[in-house]
Amino acid sequence: MGLSLRDSREGDAGLRRAVGLVWPRAAIQWCWVHKLHFHRIVYAADIDAARVAYTAFERTWAKCCPSAVSSLREGGDELLTFLAFPKVQWKTLRTTTTIERLHEEFRRRVKARCRAKTRRKIATVLRQHPALAAIERSFINAWDEPRIRDAVTRTGRQKLLIGGITPHVWLAFPAMSAVADGYDLYALLDASATWSDLLRLTAIEQMRQAGVTITSGSAAVVEMLHNNASPIAGEFYAALDLPATRYILQITQGGKSA
């Protein structure tokens, strides 16, 4: 009888060899916890649907984001081992860490914003601007990565909008560091999420004390529009596609038609 090994495979080649020697028939499963951006593959209904999603991801992102495709290919078929087991075991088998609960909370909070058309727009932007690329880094604080600081400097901009996965780390750290370097920082709270109100409130207080302006993505871009009479207002509000902006668009269009 085979054995399912939940192996995070984060550079621990010795563990893999040891398991192979002791349990040569073990079924190896790569941990998905750091690959949840491949969510259509992870949460496919069965192995056939997962392979279709796998192929679609490669085809969509191979040219504009090759590092993401390389990350997917790194695990190969061993990313899909869990699908051969009963469905009730899938969640337990595909990750070895309790951080899965954290990801569940993130998905719950941002579910309304994770729309297919948004992902398609991101892919379109990357194709239209080949100079844009994801910067892979090991630094926790993004501002400690010289390539990121250099990219910001090359824009010649002094005012920066910033978002992050969590407000207390991925948002607060680079925001406060950039302020210390003389930039005007606007932290977009709706572009981050956390599982704790305490962490969110302490992050807000830390950033405020450091001189970071706390705002939201929608507020920031509407402020940049400045005037609803702008010729791009209709297209602008349509692109935001939020309930309040749809009402504003209807009012704006109604005023023009009148």
Show the tokens assigned to 105.
């909370």
Residue 140 CB neighbour total at 10 angstroms: 11
Using CA atoms, how far apart are residues 254 and 27, in angstroms rounded to an integer?
Answer: 62
Using CA atoms, how far apart are residues 152 and 171, in angstroms rounded to an integer?
Answer: 16
- Average per-residue pLDDT for the chain: 77
Nearest CA to 222 out of 247, 258, 205 is that of 247
Considering the four listed CATH numbers 3.40.50.2300, 3.30.70.270, 3.40.50.850, 3.40.50.720, the one that applies to the domain covering 135-221 is 3.40.50.850
Per residue in 100-120, pLDDT (tens digit) is 556 566 666 555 444 445 566
Using CA atoms, how far apart are residues 29 and 9, in angstroms rounded to an integer?
Answer: 9
Per residue in 185-210, pLDDT (tens digit) is 999 988 888 878 888 899 999 999 99
* 219-243 mean pLDDT: 77
**Per-residue model confidence (pLDDT) at position 31:** 76
For the chain, the C-alpha Rg in angstroms (whole number) is 22
Cβ 86 vs Cβ 79: under 8 Å: no
Nearest CA to 83 out of 119, 117, 122, 54 is that of 54
- The DSSP element (H or E) to which 214 belongs, if any, is strand 213-215
pTM of the model: 0.48
Statement: residue 77 has pLDDT above 60: yes
Tokens 């997962």 correspond to 50
**Per-residue model confidence (pLDDT) at position 125:** 67
Cβ 240 vs Cβ 221: under 8 Å: yes
Statement: residue 153 has pLDDT above 60: yes
Per residue in 16-72, pLDDT (tens digit) is 788 788 888 888 887 776 665 566 788 888 999 988 988 888 888 888 888 888 878
